[in-house]
Chain A
Amino acid sequence: MKYVEEFNDPARARRLLDEIRAAVTRPWALMEVCGGQTHSIIRHGIDQLLPEEVELIHGPGCPVCVTPLDVIDKAMDIAARPEVVFCSFGDMLRVPGTDRDLFRVKGEGGDVRVVYSPLDALELARENPDRQVVFFAIGFETTAPANAMAVHQARRLGLGNFSLLVSHVRVPPAMQAIMTAPSCRVQGFLAAGHVCSVMGTAEYPDLAEKYRVPVVVTGFEPLDILEGIRRAVHQLERGEHRVENAYPRAVREQGNPAALAMIEEVFEVTDRNWRGIGRIPASGWRLTDAFRAYDAEHRFDVSGIRTEEPAVCRAGEVLQGLIKPTECEAFGAACTPRTPLGATMVSSEGACAAYYLYRRMNAPAPQGSRIPREEMNPVG
């Protein structure tokens, strides 16, 4: 497919890798912010091809990993009600709440449906006027325009049986939180390309300046990721810290004005808890007062659900790049993909799940130690 195949070209990838190898003179830790980038890195084995000096830290850009526990519990409370058709992206069905997940709610009789688009949920609301259709509006800036359109249309059509359970998060405040954390190891960011397709790049210059950290807007195909790394390393080696756009085919500086206008109309900035990390100021969106009638938290009166996340695993530190998954005491013992303690063990591209797979291939690393790089390469 055009714009995919040519950005997967092995010959060009080798050229970019040679460039990175030639440029790097000392260790650098880069964070790819978006889970989609992590997925691509693992799928293509990019981390194993980089020079030893370049370390990739998997960022918090995955809604599965960061949607807070109390929101998951609210989702299950609502989904279990007999009058409700609960619609979600497939990603969220396996995320553990306090004592169950949405699969289990479905197994116990809840009407839980996987949809591809929020507009599919809107259509269900139209077709089922006697049912309450709730859409689980999770995700980052990329998904916000779609979810905003769904609720905007619902109000225009007067669909009183449609509502959103909103847990939207915003990336730049999380990047800021990471840089502010004590013992932060991140020296450069590969910013999330599709977030920037919507939002543009205006939020990043201040961040780059304040924390003296390169921010390279990066795409998702292998060559995009290598180019993002190349530019970030380039800046670091020269002691620079600028915002660069390494994904110009899909990112404009001003973002998408029509999408931004819709977000502005439907959502307002709020503080948000990030699972395993904590409360980050101004890091989320909620529905504005004008759309309060379409807020599932109010309609189903679940705002009282407050779940404390017991301190068992250390996903938060993993998400911030402070520790490797193997440094967590629960890793591989109490915590496996089958029985995840933290969301980073849930999705296959979650940092802990990825490490779990690699470790199973090799002699177990000593408890609490990092996996040496050569052990990360499964076929040597």
Chain B
Amino acid sequence: MADLAAPGLAPAGTDTSDTAVDPAGWTCPAPLRDQPVVVMGHGGGGALSAELIEQVFAPAYGNPLLAALTDSAVFDLGGARIAFSTDSYVVRPLFFPGGCLGDLAVNGTVNDLAMSGARPAFLSTAFVLEEGVELSVVGRIARAVGAAARAADVTVATGDTKVVESGHGDGVYVTTAGVGLVPEGVDIRPRRARPGDAVIVSGPIGQHGVAVMSVREGLEFGVEITSDTAPLAGLVAAMLEVTKDLHVLRDPTRGGLGTALNEIARASGTGVLLRDRAVPVPEEVENACGFLGLDPLYVANEGRLVAFVPPEHAEAVLAAMRAHPQGTGAARIGECVADHPGMVVVATGLGGTRVVDLPLGEQLPRIC
């Protein structure tokens, strides 16, 4: 047993008698087992979310369409190739710099459809309202839904409203579902990623997450950081005009770019190699993440996409993206590789590498 009592360091009066540390007797914490209740991480878009789907929902519904775990399901119906998707929207605060819950609810579902290459056509909206919420708030959100739908060229064709008792909701929740048509010859899904594909992101990352967090954390910005919420179907159409052979599209929403790339790598059995300095991160986002201890790669986006494009089309697709209003900041950030299948690796600016893993749940500000 080593005696650690150290007169030189222990201040006078401190009891240092029963203090030996024996490495053989060093103890360890007991295991943390799977959570038996829902925790916030189940909604974070990371590993816990994936497990919830894989272990609870997929077995219960059991069909190959769902098992593909894509942003939107694609199937044939009445001779048409249909994309179909649904998503629920909860955000605090309801209104944030650059948008509100209503914008997210439309753009999110429009983008999920667009990530299959579909042209979004019709949406449904279902509102869950908390007793006591001011009607003017509901009105503002409804008007935002209408404006966003017009901007995305989709029709809100049906809807529903429910009210829950005061204290049983965060004011307003919105669920939207949408359908769209997938053009002939288009087959875009995570499993089609191939080594050699160029990985392209449509613009600077992290703005939505930081805009929302700035309200919660009391941050101010020299230049206002606004959410990037936007419909991406037009951008996708422009990309498809260059080539129908886009392999993968994904909108890196909650969980951010890092999570989206991990999901693609795992689904396709390929690796992804990013160049750290090629990933566009606005300075304010970088610095806000810096002192909250967050990684911009895991921060949510609501108006960006990441594309896996065959190398021979990469430059033309990139040029088409940059010519579109939603893709002016597009950048080639890395490529799909055969090495380290299922993993995302970043080549750092100094010449080293690091692994970008699938996060467990949501990112939290840290001090360590």
Q: Do any CB atoms of chain A lie under 8 A from CB atoms of chain B in the complex? A: yes
- Seen from chain A, the residues whose Cβ lies within 8 Å of a Cβ on chain B are 1, 4, 8, 10, 13-14, 35-36, 39, 42-49, 62-64, 69, 89-91, 93-94, 96-101, 103-104, 106-108, 114, 116, 139, 143, 172-173, 176-177, 180-183, 203, 206-207, 210, 222, 269-271, 275-282, 308-317, 320, 322, 334-335, 337-343, 347-349, 357-358, 360-362, 377-379
Q: Mark B82-111, 1 if CB is under 8 A from A, else 0.
A: 000000000000000000000000000000
Binds A, one of B34-42, B112-120, B186-194, B195-203: B34-42
| Cβ B23 vs Cβ A46 within 8 A | no
- Chain B's closest residue to A38 (CB) is B368
Could you tell me if A310 and B365 are in contact, using CB atoms closer than 8 angstroms?
A: no
Q: What's the least CB distance linking B22 to chain A, in Å? A: 8
CB neighbors of A among B10-62 (8 A): 10-11, 14-16, 18-19, 21-23, 25-35, 37-41, 47
Interface string of B136-174 (1 = CB under 8 A from A): 000000000000000000000000000000000000000
A211 to B4, CA, bound (A): 13
Q: A45-B351, A104-B35, A379-B339 are in contact. Are A322 and B27 (CB under 8 A)?
A: no
Query: Closest approach, in angstroms, between the C-beta of A284 and any C-beta of chain B?
Result: 10
Instruction: Choose from A116, A183, A343 the contact partner of B365 (Cβ within 8 Å).
Output: A116
Q: Which residues of A contact B343 (CB under 8 A)?
A: 360-361
A56 to B316, CA, bound (A): 45
Residues of A close to B27: CB separation below 8 A: 276, 278, 308-311, 316
Please name all residues of chain B whose beta carbon is closer than 8 Å to the beta carbon of A207 when the two chains form the complex: 8-9
Which B residues are CB-close (under 8 A) to A99? 30, 33
- B26 touching A282 by the CB < 8 A rule? no
Q: Can you show 5 pairs from A to B with CB atoms below 8 A apart?
A: A10-B350, A49-B350, A107-B35, A176-B9, A309-B28
Given contacts A180-B3, A339-B32, contact A206 B9 (CB under 8 A): yes
Question: Which residue of the partner chain B has the closest CB to A339?
Answer: B31
- Is there an interface contact between B32 and A275, defined as CB atoms closer than 8 Å? no
Picked from A139, A316, A362, A379, the residue with its CB within 8 Å of the CB of B347 is A379
Decide if B79 is an interface residue (CB 8 Å cutoff).
no
Q: A362 → chain B, closest Cβ, in Å?
A: 8
Q: Which of A13, A180, A315 has the most CB of B within 10 A?
A: A180
Contact of A89 with B29 in the complex, beta carbons under 8 Å: no
B30–A309 CB distance below 8 A: yes
Q: Which residue of A lies closest to B32 (CB)?
A: A96
Task: Please tell me if the beta carbons of A96 and B365 are within 8 angstroms of each other in the complex.
Answer: no
B349–A281 touching, CB < 8 Å: no
Which A residues touch B47, using CB under 8 A?
338
Whether B350 pairs with A94 at a CB distance below 8 angstroms is no
The docked-state distance in angstroms from the alpha carbon of A25 to that of B350 is 24
Interface-side segment among B300-308, B323-331, B353-361: B353-361
The distance from the CB of B271 to the nearest CB of chain A, in whole angstroms, is 8
Q: Which of A107, A177, A270, A379 contacts B21 (CB 8 A)?
A: A177
Q: Is B273 interfacial (CB 8 A cutoff)?
A: yes
Of the candidates A104, A279, A308, the one whose C-beta lies within 8 Å of that of B19 is: A279
Closest 3 pairs (CB-CB, A-B): A45-B352, A90-B364, A316-B26
Interface pair B11/A341, CB less than 8 Å apart: no
In the bound complex, do residue B292 and residue A116 qualify as a contact, i.e. CB atoms below 8 Å apart? Answer: yes
Which B-chain residue is minimally distant from A354 (CB atoms)? Answer: B355
Question: Interface size for chain B: under 10, 10 to 19, 20 to 34, or 35 or more residues?
Answer: 35 or more
Contact yes or no, A282 B11, CB < 8 A: yes
**B 301-350 contacts with A by CB, 8 A:** 339-340, 343, 345, 347-350
Known contacts A173-B9, A176-B4: A377-B353 contact under CB 8 Å: yes
> At the interface, is chain A mostly helix, strand, loop or mixed?
mixed
Q: Which residues of chain B come closer than 8 Å to A349, judged between CB atoms?
A: 368
**Taking each of B16, B31, B38, B287, which has the highest tally of chain A beta carbons within 10 Å of its own beta carbon?**
B31
Known A42-B354, A62-B368, A96-B31: A276·B345 in contact at CB below 8 Å: no
- Extra 8 A-B pairs, beta carbons < 8 Å, given A43-B354, A279-B18, A341-B31: A14-B351, A94-B360, A173-B6, A181-B23, A281-B14, A312-B29, A343-B29, A360-B355
- Please state if A340 and B32 are interface contacts (CB–CB under 8 Å): yes
* Interface: B5 (CB within 8 A): yes
Q: Is the CB of A64 within 8 A of B30?
A: no
For chain B, residues 250 to 283, give those with C-beta under 8 angstroms from any C-beta of chain A: 273, 283
Q: Choose among A100, A183, A210 the residue with the greatest number of B CB atoms under 10 Å from its CB.
A: A100
Within the complex, what minimum Cβ distance (angstroms) separates B249 from chain A?
A: 26
Q: Could you tell me if A104 and B31 are in contact, using CB atoms closer than 8 angstroms?
A: no
| Binary interface encoding of chain B residues 207-230 relative to chain A, with 1 for a CB under 8 A from any of its CBs, else 0 | 000000000010000000000000
Residues B345 and A379 in contact, CB atoms below 8 Å apart: yes
Given A91-B367, A316-B27, A378-B355 contact (CB < 8 Å): yes
- Identify which of A43, A63, A320 gathers the most chain B CB atoms within 10 Å of its CB: A43
Q: How far is the CB of B220 from chain A (nearest CB, A)?
A: 14
In the complex, which residues of chain B have a beta carbon less than 8 angstroms from the beta carbon of A35? Answer: 368
Chain B residue nearest to A356 in the complex (CB): B357
